[in-house]
Amino acid sequence: MNPSLPDSPPETFTVGSGAQARMIAVRQRQGEAPGLFWLGGFKSDMKGTKAEALDHWGAKHRRMVTRFDYSGHGESSGKFTDGTIGSWLEESLAVYRRFAKGPQIVVGSSMGGWMALLLARELKKHKDAAPMAGMVLIAPAPDFTEELMWKQFSPEVRREIEEKGAWARPSDYSEEPYIITRALIEDGRNHLVLGGLIETGCPVRILQGAQDADVPWGHAAELLTRFATDDVVFTLVKDGDHRLSRPEDIERLMTVIEELSA
């Protein structure tokens, strides 16, 4: 893959088999370690503002940067409504094991923050995988299917999900609603992390907006209490929203990346 052509077609490979097979699109900038490994959010893709900013930083500093789209997102195959936390985690692990070379700083945004924590747990089972040199969580949303969705839904919405298998949730980010499936909710319960202690084995930096309407800052603060021994720094951006994609937010993110890369 030519790192000087960011708009060239992505590399693709298959995760899963048979009816569960899906084609995952990956863009990787070759460079030195520690590399950056991007985990996007729910209904986001690898061409978003923060992901592109990481790639530009990698170009400037000659660092490896790996981005990909979950199935049902961006340039990867599959239907969004077929996706679950478990299937997206399977893809995250497959991409990491295939593309990550040398130590990696894993950067997870929103749902990607949950993915990063789950990935760290999975990597402990794969001693041959590239180690995590650090983790940056941007408006992390661990356990969001349960804590920020199911527990917040009205009895009517819960009933519709249980009886019809899905509910169309209005979105502030798209004219089209987000389809929340029963499979997404039920599978999410197999991957909860806030019920116990978390040990990633690497430094963790959390960036959270105080004005975040999607992931309240108290949710990130709750996550903070779950880290057992990791070096964790929590930064609350007083006027920050969920996206944290303004120029000053990107600058703050890059400062954290440079600190962990030193």
Question: What would the mean pLDDT of 85-92 be, rounded to a whole number?
Answer: 98
Whether residue 167 lies inside any domain: the answer is no
What value does the mean pLDDT of the chain take? Answer: 95
The strand pairing partners of 233, in sequence order, are: 205
Decide the pairing of beta strands 22-29 and 32-39. unpaired
Q: What's residue 123's pLDDT?
A: 97
The continuous run of DSSP H or E covering 57 comes out as: helix 49-61
Q: Per-residue pLDDT for 2 more than 60? A: no
Would you call 170 exposed, middle or buried from its count of C-beta atoms within 10 A (0-12, 13-18, 19+)?
Answer: exposed
Classify residue 227 by its DSSP letter.
B
Q: What's residue 173's pLDDT?
A: 80
Whether residue 163 lies inside any domain: the answer is no
Nearest CA to 34 out of 66, 5, 68, 4 is that of: 66
Q: Percent of the chain having pLDDT more than 70?
A: 97
Contact 87, 95 (CB under 8 A): no
Whether residue 172 lies inside any domain: the answer is no
Q: Per-residue pLDDT for 15 more than 50? A: yes
The strand pairing partners of 172, in sequence order, are: none
Whether residue 176 lies inside any domain: the answer is no
Could you tell me the pLDDT band of residue 134, with boundaries at 50, 70 and 90? very high
The predicted model scores a pTM of 0.95
CATH at 234: 3.40.50.1820
Domain that holds residue 30: 11-143+193-261
Q: Which residues are catalytic?
A: 110, 212, 242
Q: Per-residue pLDDT for 253 more than 80? A: yes
Whether residue 185 lies inside any domain: the answer is no
Alpha helices in 62-189 (DSSP H): 85-99, 111-123, 144, 155-164, 182-188
Could you tell me the pLDDT band of residue 107, with boundaries at 50, 70 and 90? very high
Higher pLDDT, 170 or 150: 150
Number of domains in the chain: 1
Task: Please state the separation of Cα 109 from the chain's center in Å.
Answer: 5
pLDDT digits (tens, 9 = 90+) for 157-184: 999 999 999 999 988 888 889 999 999 9
- What is d(CA 101, CA 34) in angstroms, rounded to the nearest whole number? 9
Nearest CA to 49 out of 213, 257, 236, 250 is that of: 250
pLDDT digits (tens, 9 = 90+) for 181-226: 999 999 999 999 999 999 999 999 999 999 999 999 999 999 999 9
Cα dihedral 103, 107, 112, 113, rounded to 10, equals 100
Return phi, psi of residue 228, to 5°: -85, -55
Whether residue 173 lies inside any domain: the answer is no
- Give the up-direction half-sphere exposure of residue 106: CA atoms within 13 A in the CB hemisphere: 31
- Give the up-direction half-sphere exposure of residue 233: CA atoms within 13 A in the CB hemisphere: 12
CA–CA distance from 192 to each of 34, 78, 203 (Å)?
A: 28, 24, 21
Q: Per-residue pLDDT for 4 more than 90? A: no
The continuous run of DSSP H or E covering 175 comes out as: none
Whether residue 155 lies inside any domain: the answer is no
One-letter amino acid for residue 122 of the chain: E
Cα dihedral 160, 152, 137, 78, rounded to 10, equals 0
Q: Per-residue pLDDT for 5 more than 60? A: no
Whether residue 233 lies inside any domain: the answer is yes
Would you call 75 exposed, middle or buried from its count of C-beta atoms within 10 A (0-12, 13-18, 19+)?
Answer: middle
Q: Which residue has the tokens 């530009």?
A: 56
Could you tell me the pLDDT band of residue 133, with boundaries at 50, 70 and 90? very high
Q: What's residue 7's pLDDT?
A: 64
Provide the sign of the torsion angle of the four alpha carbons 233, 239, 243, 246, taken in this order: negative
pLDDT digits (tens, 9 = 90+) for 24-75: 999 999 999 999 999 999 999 999 999 999 999 999 999 999 999 999 999 9
